[in-house]
Amino acid sequence: MTTKLKTFLFCLHCNQETEHTIIYKGEYLEYIKCNICQNEIKISREKLVEIYTADFIDRVLTKPHRLTEEIKRDLSGFLKSIPIRILTKPYRLAKELGDILHQEKK
């Protein structure tokens, strides 16, 4: 079962708080998408456990009964702290960032 939630989170691409759609598959967070730049962050639990504790992952990435301010704060902090190598689409992100930098030079 897929659940969609909308909330304001910090987007690294937009460099500001934007409206995001959070997709949960079953009880676990599948991906987070920025509604402004459409950047998707797909999260792999296997990679995350290398740097975060299981407690943290379960608290932030399992479906909350209610999206509280605390969970939103945790998610925003999590998105800011997540290393790019953990993301499952690093090449796409790197390419997009490269495109942005390229455009700014023109």
Site size toward Zn ion (CB under 5 A) is: 7
Only one of the segments 17-25, 41-49, 57-65, 83-91 lies at the binding site for Zn ion (rule: CB under 5 A); that segment is 17-25
Is 97 one of the binding residues for Zn ion (CB under 5 A)? Answer: no
Strand partners, 22: 5, 32
Q: Please give the structure tokens belonging to residue 96.
A: 């997009």
- Type of residue numbered 76: S
Closest contact distance (angstroms) between CB of 34 and Zn ion is: 3
Q: Where are the alpha helices (DSSP H) in the chain?
A: 45-48, 54-61, 69-81, 90-105
- Name the site residues for Zn ion (rule: CB under 5 A): 11, 13-14, 18, 34, 36-37
